[in-house]
Structure 1
């Protein structure tokens, strides 16, 4: 073996038996080794480097607007558009201002308090003083206690006894809106106030009784009702009386709201149209615009707060599905209730809040909790019902990978059965 052959045979990976073309053999060996190393590095890169997950194709995390400014990252997956927003002071101020805006008072229906008008089903009590034979049913077997007021005047004080065969409840307004009264027959009373009814009976009765002293009152309010349902102690109907009824009166009449009531999501149903009521703003912030006056047929509903949940997932010590308390609930509180971030596996710089937006969109807010100053922003960031808080693992990752990890849960949570169509 000559010197050239000995030199080439000492190169690793090259066999001792070489062809007549040593240069070509050498190149072929290097090529085979290079392909092997390239394949190894490629497979290792798929495992170690951040990249696609669950079929999500890699793409840039930010887009550029027409004016050249950076826009939030946007990813479309399974027909859902995920938009990334970095949490900073300006963003939190905007969200807080939008959340603090109360319902427009003009959007709520208004009722001007007025005198009660009798309707079919109400029970009237009609009394003609000094004429017990004309007095209201239930007072038919009345005895008259005479109280002397001088030599020629007396005042008849009606007193009910157990005798008589008339209805003790009074005169019920019939379906045609009338009542029957002696000497004058049927009297139309539906739609009239008590004072109007008294004047009508006086005019008619004056033809049979000289200067009758007529008194009319409502013995039982049975024609007009409001309804209170949901998280109150005694849900049911409440009769409207001559005293105007407000939302707070109705809730008080139903025994008050229960501990699990969602005051900020109350509703008023009037004539088939549903109006939102923020009773938390009324009871705790004194916003009287939410305490509207009620009318016949109104339905007040207080939903339960058990559906008002937030979900804390990912690298936390205790993943939870938590019912929101009464009042504001911040991101820092949610993380604290979940036992805080996992000190070993959590990436504090990648705390995400997924929130359903309009249509098939999801807004994703990212908080860099690695900085103590940013934790203050987390305490100012108020969560909303059905928010999903996700803490990513402590490795370099990208937005599309986080979306792919949360995608099945977010799809079923926000879109329900629509996510599987």
Structure 2
């Protein structure tokens, strides 16, 4: 078998095979664009826009697989138009609900501390008796504070508001306190105690806030519940109470859920832009969610040195930044005149923004073009590069034939 193969090789047949391979390579050279692997936009930069008779420039359209691609030439005028459209977009805080600050109203579950000075028998059984409102300590006077003990059958910190919204108080009985402010409760107790105690000095405070909560979830350091207290609780208070936002937080994509309705909340505008309109006052049951930024990505593909799936940083992210993070354009294979940004539109449409970066100065223009989440940046290949790709794939096959023929000589 070896002898037969060697005879065939020495007779010149491998050279025929080698010539056939090079003939196929020449054919590939003539149709390199069709045979070369890899994606190819296939649109001449001059076809990006169509100039109408009235002088207005309208985007050209290409329909492929039922999707309409609208091509836009990226220049200073278009960037200015996009910026103007963004400025005319209603601010995100337009839909944010507004709640006026109001006094805290007691609800079921709160714990009240009621003290009647000089009448220790009326105070919470969980406290030791209070003999005097002012006692002498050393050479100065100081206000006496009730000391908690384990006595009594109530919460040692005070009187718990029951499910029916009432508390029990000596000489009075059941007192409705749910829905009332601390001052209203104090006046009510004073008026009813005045019938049994001469000029009672009543002090009412909240020992523990248990009835009203807000919730903070997502990319914060300590997600969970935060109790609403007598001071108004704002968005910044809630984020701070949750330990602050984490490094991977998507601040501009935060939301406020109130009563089953979700409102956009731009925390980036508040923390970095000073937009206090985003710092709304919260109410019971509100849920603040700060999503992770990993869902906000841009994809840089094509003839770049390092194709990447890039998580957008905090704040604006430009086209030039994305190209730089991908290692820049490939100097030997990229067609710098055909840099595209694909952006999904409505109802099976895709907006395609074309940047001619053949001049390095045009990258300054790209730095003014802000990317949006899920944008796809694609750098097309040069036509001559596609021929080189065919050569690179065929040459090993042809070389193996030649080297194999030499080995059998």
How has the CA–CA distance of structure 1 residues 374 and 278 changed in structure 2, closer, same or farther, with 3 Å as cutoff? same
- What is the rounded CA distance, in whole Å, between the counterparts of 2:297 and 2:380 in structure 1? 21
How has the CA–CA distance of structure 1 residues 270 and 148 changed in structure 2, closer, same or farther, with 3 Å as cutoff? closer
Once the two structures are superposed, residues 29-70 of structure 1 have per-residue CA deviations (whole angstroms, 9 ceiling, x without a partner) of xxxxxxxxxxxxx998765589xx99x999976557695744
- What is the rounded CA distance, in whole Å, between the counterparts of 2:180 and 2:152 in structure 1? 29
- What is the rounded CA distance, in whole Å, between the counterparts of 1:46 and 1:226 in structure 2? 66
Q: 1:316·1:340 contact (CA, 8 Å) conserved in 2?
A: yes
- What is the rounded CA distance, in whole Å, between the counterparts of 2:148 and 2:102 in structure 1? 36
Q: 1:311·1:387 contact (CA, 8 Å) conserved in 2?
A: yes
Cα displacement (A) at 1:208: 0.8
Q: 2:68·2:349 contact (CA, 8 Å) conserved in 1?
A: yes
How has the CA–CA distance of structure 1 residues 85 and 61 changed in structure 2, closer, same or farther, with 3 Å as cutoff? closer
Cα displacement (A) at 1:82: 1.0
- What is the rounded CA distance, in whole Å, between the counterparts of 2:336 and 2:367 in structure 1? 15
- What is the rounded CA distance, in whole Å, between the counterparts of 2:229 and 2:51 in structure 1? 63
| Residue 58 of structure 2: aligned partner | 71
| Residue 379 of structure 1: aligned partner | 367
- What is the rounded CA distance, in whole Å, between the counterparts of 1:244 and 1:164 in structure 2? 34
- Structure 1: gaps spanning 5 or more residues: 1-41, 150-154, 398-421
Cα displacement (A) at 1:374: 1.3
Number of matched pairs: 350
- What is the rounded CA distance, in whole Å, between the counterparts of 1:58 and 1:85 in structure 2? 12
How has the CA–CA distance of structure 1 residues 326 and 357 changed in structure 2, closer, same or farther, with 3 Å as cutoff? same
| Residue 98 of structure 2: aligned partner | 110
TM-score by length of 2: 0.78
Cα displacement (A) at 1:236: 0.3
- What is the rounded CA distance, in whole Å, between the counterparts of 2:308 and 2:143 in structure 1? 74
The 3-state SS of whatever aligns with 1:92 is helix
The reply to whether residue 236 of structure 1 matches residue 227 of structure 2 is no
The 3-state SS of whatever aligns with 1:233 is coil
- What is the rounded CA distance, in whole Å, between the counterparts of 2:269 and 2:43 in structure 1? 46
- Structure 2: gaps spanning 5 or more residues: 1-26, 137-141, 386-409
Q: 1:311·1:322 contact (CA, 8 Å) conserved in 2?
A: yes
Cα displacement (A) at 1:162: 3.2
| Residue 292 of structure 2: aligned partner | 304
How has the CA–CA distance of structure 1 residues 340 and 146 changed in structure 2, closer, same or farther, with 3 Å as cutoff? closer
Structure whose CA Rg is larger: 1
Between the two structures, name the one with larger relative contact order (CA 8 Å, sep ≥ 6).
2
| Residue 115 of structure 2: aligned partner | 127
- What is the rounded CA distance, in whole Å, between the counterparts of 2:263 and 2:246 in structure 1? 21
- What is the rounded CA distance, in whole Å, between the counterparts of 1:281 and 1:196 in structure 2? 40
Q: 1:123·1:169 contact (CA, 8 Å) conserved in 2?
A: yes
How has the CA–CA distance of structure 1 residues 282 and 61 changed in structure 2, closer, same or farther, with 3 Å as cutoff? closer
Cα RMSD after superposing both structures: 3.1
The reply to whether residue 285 of structure 1 matches residue 298 of structure 2 is no
How has the CA–CA distance of structure 1 residues 259 and 128 changed in structure 2, closer, same or farther, with 3 Å as cutoff? same
How has the CA–CA distance of structure 1 residues 164 and 69 changed in structure 2, closer, same or farther, with 3 Å as cutoff? closer
Q: 2:117·2:130 contact (CA, 8 Å) conserved in 1?
A: no
